[in-house]
Chains A and B, each alone.
Chain A
C-alpha cells in the first residue's frame, strides 16, 4: 500500500516559542507520514497543537517561533529552506484552507480576483486568463452563476459558498497536498456534509493528499484513511481510521469517541472527559493526559510514555494502551 517514499514525511517536528525566558513547545516531537492521494485526519481539542503543526508544514509559524525536526515533502527537506522556496511551494504544491472563511478571505477584494491571484503568481498566467480560470474553478466547486459570483465580495456570499470559494482558491494550482484546518467547523451540518463531499470529489479528480484537521472525530471519520490523535502538543495515537474506531487504544481517543453525542441513541448523561487541555506553560512531567485520565497511576504521572506500535500501523503513547 505504502509506496517507497511517502509524499509527506514528518519526523520529530517541534514548534517552540520563547515565553518569559523559557522555551515552550506547543508542538513536540511529532512524526507521521502521508501518501499521495490519501487523507489523514488530525484530531484533538483546541490547544493541542493541530493548527500549529499545519502552519509549520507551510513555513507559516509566526516570527519568534522556532521549528525544528524534519518535514520532507516529495523527497525534499522543507525545514530550513529559504523563504523564496517556501513561497514557491505555498498555494502551489501545498495549499491550505482555513476555518473561518469570512475572516480568511480579503473583505475588499472580489473572490474571483483572490482566486486568480494564485494562478498569476504560480502559473505565470496573465490576469485575463487567470480570471477566466477562476470562473471555471468556482463552477468546479459547485457555485452557480460563477461569472457573477467571481465579481462578488466575500460578505455577499453565504458561509458555505465562501468555503467553496476558499477551496477553489486552494486547489487553483492542483496542489499535491491540501491542508484543511477545521474547514467545516463554522458551517451548518448540512453544508458541512456538502463540503466534505466536495473535498472527496476533488480529491479523486486531482489526486491530492489531504491533511484534515478537526476537533470532531465524527467529522474526520467521514473522509479519513488514517487518523492521528493529538493531545497537548504530542501525538498520542495513530492508526488507520477503521482500526482506530474499532480498537481505540489511548484513553484520550476513547474519551473523544465516547463524548460524541450519538444522533441515533439518547443517553441520560453523556460520558465526559473531565477538565480541559492544560495551558502550554502547565504541561505535566509525566503523561500529559494523566490529570484527566481515569486510568492514570503514579508511573503515568512521573514518566512520559513514548509512541509505541501496538500492531501493524497502530501506535499509541500510553502505558495502559489497550486496557
Chain B
C-alpha cells in the first residue's frame, strides 16, 4: 500500500516533468513572444535595443536551453514572474487556486451527495415515476450548456428576485462569511447542477446492476429489510465503479470552472490561465496548466486508492 502510493507519486512527478516540457514547447509555438508585446507598446525601440533585451531575457537561446534554465529555477522554488501582474507567479496563483478549490470542492461534494440520493432512489424501482423524474433531471443536467444555465440562474436569482449577487467574489468593504457565501452560491449551484446529472446516471446504473446480483437475493433470503439491503449490501458494491468515475471526473471539473468563473467574474484558475494565455504571460500560464495537471493526477491516484479501499479483491501493490 505505502509502496503503491510511493510508486504512483514518483510516476506522477515524472508525468508532471514531461508535461512541463510539452507545455513549455507548446507555449513557445504560440505566435509572438513577450518582447513583441513590449515592442508594440514602445515604438521607439531600435533593433539593437530589442536584440539586447532578447539577450537579457535569454530569448535568443534555443527552446531546450531556455526550458533547462526554467526547470532549474523551478526546482529551487522559483517559478518566475508574471509579466501582466508584475508579481511572482505563485503570489498571483495562490488566491486563484484557493478560490477554484473552494468552488470545486463544494460543488463536487454537493453533486456527489445529490447523485447518490437521486440515483439510489431511482434504482429502487427502475421505470417507476421516481426513476422517470430523476432521469429527466439527470438528462437536463447533462444536456443544458453550463453558460446557459449560469445565465438563467443570474436572471432568476440576481436580476428578477434580487436574492443573490450576479457576479464577483465579495462586496467591497464587506469580507464577512455570509457575503462570501452569497457570492459563491450561484457559481456553486451552476457547477453542481451541471455535474449531478452525469453522476446520477452512473449511480443509478450501478445500483440497478448490483440489485440484480445473486448476493442481493441471498441477503433477501436472510430476511433483511430493504433499507439494510440497499445501504449495507448494494451500495458498497455499487460504489466501486462509481467512485472511480467520480474521482476521475474531478479533474475535468477544472475546465468546467473556466466557464463558471468567467460568467460570474470569479478570479479562479480557469480565468487566470485563460487570461495569461491571451496576454502571452508565459510563466503564469505554464504554472497554471501544471497545477491543473497535478490536480488530475491526484484525482487519478485518489480514484485508485478509493478503489482498493472499497474492493477487497483489489490489492494495491
Query: Do A and B truly interact?
Result: yes
A residues within 8 Å of B by Cβ? 58, 60, 86-92, 95-96, 98, 100, 103-109, 117-118, 121-122, 153, 155, 166, 169
Pair A106/B233 contact, Cβ less than 8 Å: yes
Q: Known: A117-B224, A153-B313. Is A98-B217 also a contact (CB below 8 A)?
A: yes
B-side contacts of A166, CB under 8 Å? 218
Pair B237/A107 contact, Cβ less than 8 Å: yes
A-side contacts of B240, CB under 8 Å? 108
- Cα–Cα, bound, A122→B223 (Å): 8
Report 26 cross-chain contacts, Cβ distance below 8 Å, ordered by A residue: A60-B217, A60-B220, A60-B221, A87-B223, A90-B222, A90-B223, A91-B221, A92-B223, A98-B218, A100-B214, A103-B213, A103-B214, A104-B218, A106-B219, A106-B233, A107-B313, A108-B310, A108-B312, A109-B232, A117-B222, A117-B232, A121-B224, A122-B223, A153-B313, A155-B312, A166-B218
| CB-CB nearest in chain B for A100 | B214
Pair A108/B222 contact, Cβ less than 8 Å: no
B-side contacts of A91, CB under 8 Å? 221-224
Give min CB distance, A93 to chain B, whole Å: 10
| CB-CB nearest in chain B for A103 | B214
- Cα–Cα, bound, A95→B220 (Å): 10
- Cα–Cα, bound, A311→B225 (Å): 46
- The answer to whether B54 has its CB under 8 Å from any CB of chain A is no
Chain B 127-163, CB within 8 Å of chain A: the 1/0 string?
A: 0000000000000000000000000000000000000
Pair B215/A106 contact, Cβ less than 8 Å: yes
Number of B interface residues at 8 Å Cβ cutoff, please give it: 21
Q: Known: A153-B312, A153-B313, A155-B312. Is A107-B223 also a contact (CB below 8 A)?
A: no
Pair B217/A106 contact, Cβ less than 8 Å: no
Which one of B221, B233, B311 lies within 8 Å of A95 (CB-CB)?
A: B221
Pair B221/A108 contact, Cβ less than 8 Å: no
- Cα–Cα, bound, A244→B224 (Å): 39
Give min CB distance, A47 to chain B, whole Å: 18
Chain B 207-244, CB within 8 Å of chain A: the 1/0 string?
A: 00000011101111111110000001100110010000
Give min CB distance, B91 to chain A, whole Å: 47
A-side contacts of B221, CB under 8 Å? 58, 60, 90-91, 95-96, 98
Give min CB distance, A105 to chain B, whole Å: 6
Pair A104/B236 contact, Cβ less than 8 Å: no
| CB-CB nearest in chain A for B233 | A106
Given A90-B220, A96-B221, A107-B312, list of 19 further CB < 8 A pairs? A60-B220, A86-B223, A87-B223, A87-B224, A90-B222, A92-B223, A98-B218, A106-B218, A106-B219, A107-B215, A108-B236, A108-B240, A108-B312, A109-B236, A118-B222, A121-B222, A121-B224, A153-B313, A155-B312
Give min CB distance, B22 to chain A, whole Å: 40
- Cα–Cα, bound, A91→B228 (Å): 15
Q: Which 6 A-B pairs have the closest CB atoms?
A: A91-B222, A90-B223, A91-B223, A103-B214, A96-B221, A153-B312
Chain B 189-208, CB within 8 Å of chain A: the 1/0 string?
A: 00000000000000000000
- Cα–Cα, bound, A92→B217 (Å): 15
A-side contacts of B313, CB under 8 Å? 107, 153, 155
B-side contacts of A155, CB under 8 Å? 312-313
Pair A121/B223 contact, Cβ less than 8 Å: yes
A-side contacts of B236, CB under 8 Å? 108-109
B-side contacts of A92, CB under 8 Å? 223
A-side contacts of B224, CB under 8 Å? 87, 91, 117, 121
B-side contacts of A105, CB under 8 Å? 215, 218
Pair B223/A103 contact, Cβ less than 8 Å: no
Which one of A96, A106, A121 lies within 8 Å of B237 (CB-CB)?
A: A106
